[in-house]
Chain A
Amino acid sequence: MNSLEKIEAATGPRVPGAPQLYEKRKAVYPQKIDGPFRRFKWFVMAVTLTIYYGPPWIRWDRGPYAPDQAVLVDLAHRRFYMFGIEIWPHEFYFVAGLLIMAGIGLFLLTSAVGRAWCGYSCPQTVWTDLFQHIDRFVDGDRNAQMRLAKAPWGPKKIARRTFKYAIYLVISFWTGGAWIMYFADAPTLTQDFWTGQAAPVAYATVAVLTATTFLLGGFAREQVCIYMCPWPRIQSAMMDERSLTVTYKDWRGEPRGSLKKAERNPGAFGDCIDCNQCVAVCPTGIDIREGPQIGCITCALCIDACDRVMKEVGRPRGLIDYATLEDCKREAGGETPRPVWKTILHARTVIYFLVWGAVGLALLFALGSRDRTGLTIAQDRNPPFMLMSDGSVRNAYTLKLRNMESRPRRMEVSIQGLPGAVMWSEEMSREAAARAIVREVDADTTDTMRAYVVAPQETGGGEFTFVLRSLDEQGESDSGTARFDAPGEDE
């Protein structure tokens, strides 16, 4: 006796008609469809998948001191390579800037064309779409899939399911495997991976991503969009009556009636012939005729389906179409809708675009004007100053000379200000102390140098400047202010 039966025994049978608190998932078997939006979806899928799987395999020559992989996130050495751009950890604001652009870009896209991100380019959509093609490839179209789902388990069903899940697994594994290629030299990592020599974290990452792709793309599918993803909820706050969304034009379609009914009662029915094609092709299994809803990712496949049916029955296309709420009202009232460019170009989208463009320009400007040389200074605080036996005062500093070029460079550190002061580094003796020291800095490294600066006591304390100059044709320089402490100055 399980616990439910116990309750029923104690309390009598379940109250008939009591509402179920848990809604079971209704399986979705979208029907194959062709049309302009479907073809656009194919195109976006090809582009996004290429962007995901491809870049780590492109080679990019950076000379002998840097990796030759076009896109590489080198966590071990804390460098980020993207084609001609190399980013150091302290330049991470470029990545932050890109993320801000991506965020504002999504706002812009949402305010102009609604949930286009969800419908076309979201990874969840792309992989779900891919897996639904696998379903149709293995099990056949909508009806065949439904029949197979209802069929009892037998050798044939087991064979088909095994075959299908095997394909799922291969795609998932490939997806997980492609991810780690961004973090190491792709050909080497592939070889290491198959010979068991890759890092444990590589295997773990592939395992986790394979599992999540298999589950989210193969089984969770539209439930991710409806129940798990926060983005649809945020989007509904960003859309307004001037955002494009996939709409069933009920004023034109209702009341629905089949062709036969319409023939018998001309004029009594709208354009919708209630063929249910829009429901059959929907990858999230909704009925768009119920109005805008959270389950609609605006993939526009129902537009393709409806347009085809309308063409067959000789009625104008666009019974289901991209439209704004504002235009819907206008159209329902008998006015002509506004042209698309007017719909897309309104104050909000223009402002989003300007902000997005400004961030982009700022990033480009920062990228173009950044230096590949850097100097940071830390003064020894304990002791702050030293009295030398000849009465002069010594301060010690730890200097970090950054050479962000992928080649060794000769650099000169010098003192500006602080009359009479000279410095030497820990590799030198005090006899060789000078106002400027030349050092060879390895390619793509930070050179740590201890500088002892000594000044006659009468110079006293005060601020001065360390200047770093690259002794090559670039002639870049950086500088930083430092304090020189001397006895008695605070009294």
Chain B
Amino acid sequence: MANDRAEGSRGDEATGTATVGHEWDGIEELDTPMPRWWLWTFYVTIVWAIGYCIAYPAWPLVSQATEGVLGWSSRGQLAAEIEAQERARAATVAALADMPIEQLPGHPELMRAAVAGGRAAFKVNCVQCHGAGAAGGKGYPNLNDDDWLWGGDLKAIEATIVHGVRQPGDQQTHFSQMPAFGRDGILTPAQVSAVVSHVLSLSGKAPANAAGAQIFADNCAVCHGAQGKGMREFGAPDLTDAIWLYGSRRSDITYTVDNARNGVMPAWAGRLDPVTIKMLAAYVHSLGGGEAFANEAAPPADKVDEQP
């Protein structure tokens, strides 16, 4: 056994290199010196590490690490990247802020930018209720179709987003209240059943019901219209079409007449900036069911641009 370096170390005959002095079953290890280039690379990495520790955040202290003379931080880098993005978008955002939404269709470039921005904002703010594909669900309107409770042109969609639906505290929020005909005893169960039959008959799902028609004319036509075509001022849905927000089965409609439905939507003014709201309106309008402006003469009801 040759464990002692001083006495056991000797040269290897074939290569002329010293051995480290250990021997295992006749196998020895050469004490080859580190290659020069390797050593120098190693020294350079040490110098680099010292420089790095001075320049960048490095040593953990009690509450935070040393800051480094360059003042770099990952948070700061993120902030700079966000700022650069905002600078890049500034021109588009400024143009959108200055443009009334009615004029947007005349500017295809800006419209495309708005739709793209709206698509991103929709994924953050709207998908929770309306779904990722904006297809909605029971009680949450599908935004792809051509059925609009409160209007489907750009201006009307923007107004809905700004003021929401049935939002206390917002003067211009969409508001209407359907009576709970059954629960409040306005109609007897038999009358409810008759009027439900009439409603079903409007879209051809049931034979005509004369008694129901009379009850409808007395109680419902004031909002839903004599033909049941609905009225957008009250957000009263069209009862003759194929789209049913709360379901088209007899039991669904009976529940609606008995208890009424009062869906809500937040008012986004104050939560989102006007440009984002404009983008959202453009996106929702672009989903395939958007309507052209029905009445160009009607002046805009409110100045959205001045919203906070």
Contacts and interface: CB of A to CB of B under 8 A. Distances in A.
B76 interface: no
Chain A: interface residue count, which band?
20 to 34
Contact of B133 (A10, A382, A429): A382
Given A7-B31, A11-B10, A18-B16, A387 B288 contact: no
Interface in A368-415: 380-383, 386-391, 394, 396
A75 interface: no
A394 B145 CA distance: 8
Given A383-B135, A389-B242, A429-B292, A3 B33 contact: yes
B11 A12 contact: yes
B11 A15 contact: yes
Nearest to A426: B286
Contacts of B242: 387-391, 457
B143 to A, nearest CB: 10
Nearest to B285: A426
B191 to A, nearest CB: 28
Contacts of B146: 388-389, 430
A174 B289 CA distance: 61
Interface string B115-132: 000000000000000011
A157 interface: no
A151 interface: no
A15 B18 CA distance: 11
B144 A386 contact: yes
Contacts of A388: 145-147, 242-243, 289
Contacts of B158: none
Contact of A386 (B108, B145, B286): B145
A266 interface: no
Contacts of A430: 146
B45 interface: no
Nearest to B39: A3
B135 A382 contact: yes
A76 interface: no
A19 B133 contact: no
Contact of B142 (A7, A386, A452): A386
A19 B14 contact: yes
B103 interface: no
Contacts of B144: 383, 386, 394, 396
A394 B289 CA distance: 10
Contacts of B241: 389-391
A388 B146 CA distance: 6
A4 interface: yes
B259 interface: no
B18 A7 contact: yes
A436 B16 CA distance: 87
Interface in A417-444: 426-427, 429-430
Interface string B15-34: 11110000000000001010
A381 B17 CA distance: 71
A429 B243 CA distance: 20
Contact of A18 (B14, B18, B286): B14
Contacts of B134: 383
B306 interface: no
A383 B14 contact: no
A6 B107 CA distance: 82
B13 interface: yes
B193 interface: no
A62 interface: no
A163 B27 CA distance: 54
A14 interface: yes
Contact of B11 (A11, A383, A387, A457): A11
A390 B147 CA distance: 9
A19 B15 CA distance: 7
Contacts of A201: none
Contacts of A21: 15
Interface in A220-263: none
Interface string B136-169: 0000001011110000000000000000000000
Contact of A7 (B17, B243, B288): B17
A423 to B, nearest CB: 11
B26 to A, nearest CB: 19
B238 interface: yes
Contact of A4 (B33, B108, B286, B289): B33
B9 interface: yes
Nearest to B241: A389
Contact of A11 (B9, B131, B147, B292): B9
A12 B243 CA distance: 100
Nearest to A12: B11
A258 B146 CA distance: 103
A14 B16 CA distance: 5
A389 B237 CA distance: 11
A3 to B, nearest CB: 4
Interface in A1-56: 3-4, 7, 10-12, 14-15, 18-19, 21
A320 B173 CA distance: 100
Nearest to A431: B292
A383 B288 contact: no
Contacts of A389: 145-147, 238, 241-243
Nearest to B31: A7
A382 B142 CA distance: 12
Nearest to B203: A391
Contacts of A7: 11, 16-18, 31, 33
A11 B18 contact: yes
Given A15-B14, A386-B288, A389-B242, 13 more contacts: A7-B17, A12-B11, A21-B15, A382-B132, A382-B135, A383-B135, A383-B142, A387-B243, A388-B147, A389-B241, A390-B242, A391-B242, A394-B145
11 contacts: A7-B11, A10-B18, A11-B11, A21-B15, A382-B133, A383-B135, A386-B142, A387-B145, A389-B146, A390-B241, A396-B144
Question: Nearest 9 A-B pairs (CB), nearest first?
Answer: A382-B133, A11-B11, A383-B135, A14-B16, A389-B241, A391-B242, A3-B33, A389-B147, A383-B133
